[in-house]
Structure 1
Amino acid sequence: MIRSVVFDVGETLLDDSREFGAWADWIGVPRHTFSAVLGAVTAAGRNNAETFQVFRPGFDLEAERRRREEAGVGEQIDESDLYPDVRPALDALRRAGVWVGIAGNQTAKAARLLRDLDLPVDAIATSGEWNVAKPDREFFSKVIEFAPGLPGEILYVGDHRDNDIVPARASGLRPVLIRRGPWGYLWAEDPVVAENAAWAVDNLTDLVGLVAEGQ
């Protein structure tokens, strides 16, 4: 039985194109160049934050994030950033009696912006609020506290093999890979994903159908 579904944020619910583009503009490199290097970093299995080090060795991500905010070009999330299947899928899951949550590696500000969208979910949290980030095991312990049900009754949906699928499985959750964004496509056929993920889906509409079958 599936009692809860908890979603990652970037490239699971949100198209990160705008934020990646804003970072490229901020550090003064062409957007396509930033995307290409991000892809290379991803393919090498490195943390995407390392992309900045390629362009600016010693780059302090948190300090630069504060500078962006002070300059009035900080993080933004609005309806246009949501993938088209997000609202219908979240709503369908709740109507089916499933508890729905969002918990990802985002700032506390991102949590506020997500709440402002009034999504059909039961709760929202971010690593910035919890003061612990994926893939740390403590993050997934908080997911288990956050969502109703035993760990095996909680799906965790994300696009990242190393941040989402493997640590969620190690914590006893049932992980689901969504094939979108650079990581989702890169690792869609990865044997580690196949070994650890309960399912791999192309979109959230397919996930709703699988959850309904699993009830």
Structure 2
Amino acid sequence: METIVFDVGETLTKDDRYWSSWADWLQVPRHTLSALVGAVVAQGGDRADALRLVSPDMDVASACRARETAGRGEHLGEADLYPDVRPALGGLQKLGIRVVVAGEGTARTGELLRRLDLPADHIATSGDWGVAKPDPDFFTHVLEAAQADPQATLYVGDHPAHDIFPAQRAGLRTAHIRRGPWGHYWADHPDVADAADLRIDGLTALAALTGR
């Protein structure tokens, strides 16, 4: 394995703050939005689907801009990282593996991630690239950032439909992480078991699986 590419939300970062801030913005109890997220997870949907259950006509991009204007936009800090992120990514770099962070998020998310000074060789989001998962062009950008052949590149993510399946179709190797709502709910689904080259419960397991 030459390069390992990591998704962001619920792979590297906890989404607690994300959903709490949206619930407050939409003026619904946090538990209500949390329950709706659970329903969307079971249906195989994505984040925007959960928000539109609260506000069916919502333009999510416009709502994000409104939040930024109101001073209630995105925040991402050290406390939002899972505890194993820095040791896992740093350990992989010490093994000589190229570490890339490439996940769904706005350009602002990309800025915030880069400010965290993670042990990564390249950090980008769908907002930086102007194309969202699961579009095949997203994974074209992933491979450009990986600087390695697809079969020498591992994509790590929690969401089957946005991470594992499209990465596999792009020719990458894949690792599904049992983390976050989508990761836990779909971890043992036969389609995920068939598509994922690896299934892990945490990031530190990767170092022993690289063959280095």
Q: TM-score range by the shorter chain?
A: over 0.9
Give the match for residue 7 of structure 2: 8
- Whole-Å separation in 1 of the counterparts to 2:71 and 2:8: 23
- Whole-Å separation in 2 of the counterparts to 1:111 and 1:43: 28
Deviates more, 1:94-103 or 1:145-154: 145-154
- Whole-Å separation in 2 of the counterparts to 1:45 and 1:68: 27
Aligned residues: percent identity? Answer: 52
Task: Describe the SS at the equivalent of 1:124.
Answer: strand
Deviates more, 1:93-102 or 1:144-153: 144-153
Task: Describe the SS at the equivalent of 2:92.
Answer: helix
Give the match for residue 192 of structure 2: 193
Give the match for residue 143 of structure 1: 142
Deviates more, 1:198-207 or 1:39-48: 39-48
* Aligned ranges 1:61-210 → 2 under 5 Å: 61-210=60-209
Q: How far apart are 1:48 and its partner, in Å?
A: 2.3
- Whole-Å separation in 2 of the counterparts to 1:116 and 1:47: 26
- TM-score (norm. length: structure 2): 0.98
Task: Describe the SS at the equivalent of 1:59.
Answer: coil
- TM-score (norm. length: structure 1): 0.97
Show structure 1 runs of 4+ deviating over 6 A.
none
Give the match for residue 31 of structure 2: 32
Which sections of structure 1, spanning at least 5 residues, go unmatched? none
- Whole-Å separation in 2 of the counterparts to 1:78 and 1:152: 33
Q: How far apart are 1:57 and its partner, in Å?
A: 1.4
Which sections of structure 2, spanning at least 5 residues, go unmatched? none
Q: How far apart are 1:47 and its partner, in Å?
A: 2.3
Matched length = 212
Task: Describe the SS at the equivalent of 1:141.
Answer: helix
Q: How far apart are 1:143 and its partner, in Å?
A: 0.7
